[in-house]
Amino acid sequence: GENVEQHPSTLSVQEGDSAVIKCTYSDSASNYFPWYKQELGKRPQLIIDIRSNVGEKKDQRIAVTLNKTAKHFSLHITETQPEDSAVYFCAASSGAGGTSYGKLTFGQGTILTVHP
Amino acid sequence: DADVTQTPRNRITKTGKRIMLECSQTKGHDRMYWYRQDPGLGLRLIYYSFDVKDINKGEISDGYSVSRQAQAKFSLSLESAIPNQTALYFCATSGDSEGFFGPGTRLTVL
């Protein structure tokens, strides 16, 4: 089955700096890569996703890059703010039934702390 | 997201007890999932269902069972709870794109 490794497990940055979280996956059939943000005591919520036919996707201060050859993908947050502090999870899915979304395999999570 | 609800939100039970966690969704999604979250381990898939007649084991299904009573309802049972099943449990649904999580159920087994 799929295995997703996420690094680092904790990341501390100063407000305004950039943060990068990296994930690798094992199943070359994986074709959908979402990133979730989980604030303390809350449910994970999707912040950005990328599909295997795209190398990069950006949404305001966050971006995701995908290298299918190396089987790794990364989350980039620029101009970090204290409210970005949370746990971030990457995930990978190989899809099912002809659609791009199947069961997700999650990374272990990264605790991001942004210091004012 | 009020479209995916879980009951109960918190539960304390004793070793050996049977317990059921329930999930309901109003999104009209066919696919539903149960995940378990433990510190440092991320979210691990317990069971998933792609439609009412389809039930599949995830990576950590031992000690758990599920029932898909309807498109909108997916329940998780612990037949005989043990302390290492203490965790935060999330139900999720998906259509053709992103997944939506319920608010979670915090289960403590004493």
Render pLDDT for A41-77 as a digit per residue (tens, 0 to 9).
899 999 999 988 889 999 999 999 999 999 999 999 9
A-chain CB neighbours of B56 within 8 Å are 103
Which chain A residue's Cα is nearest to B93?
A103
> Exposed (0-12), middle (13-18) or buried (19+): which is B21, by Cβ within 10 Å?
buried
Residues in CB range of B39: below 8 A, 6 or more apart: none
pLDDT tens for B49-75 read 988 999 999 989 999 999 999 999 999
Compute the distance between CA of residue A31 and CA of residue B36 in angstroms, rounded to an integer: 23
Helix (H, G, I), strand (E, B) or coil at A78: coil
pLDDT for A100:
42
Closest-CA distance, B79 to chain A, in angstroms, reads 24
pLDDT for A48:
94
How many residues are recorded in chain B? 110
pLDDT tens for A7-52 read 999 999 999 999 999 999 999 988 889 999 999 989 999 999 998 8
Compute the distance between CA of residue B102 and CA of residue B93 in angstroms, rounded to an integer: 8
pLDDT for B94:
86
Q: Which of A56, A94, A92, A43 is nearest to B5 (CA)?
A: A43
CA distances from A56 to A33, A62, A101, B9, B62 (A): 11, 11, 19, 38, 38
A-chain CB neighbours of B42 within 8 Å are 6, 89, 106-109
Residues in CB range of B105: below 8 A, 6 or more apart: B6, B7, B8, B9, B10, B11, B21, B88, B89, B90
pLDDT for B42:
84
Q: Do B99 and A6 touch (CB under 8 A)?
A: no
Closest-CA distance, B75 to chain A, in angstroms, reads 17
Residues of B with CB under 8 A from a CB of A: 1, 31, 33, 35, 40-45, 48, 50, 56, 58-59, 90, 94-99, 101-104
Which residue of A43, A49, A101 is in closest CB contact with B90?
A: A43
- Angle at CA of residue B13, ends B26 and B40, nearest 5°: 70
Q: Do A104 and B50 touch (CB under 8 A)?
A: no
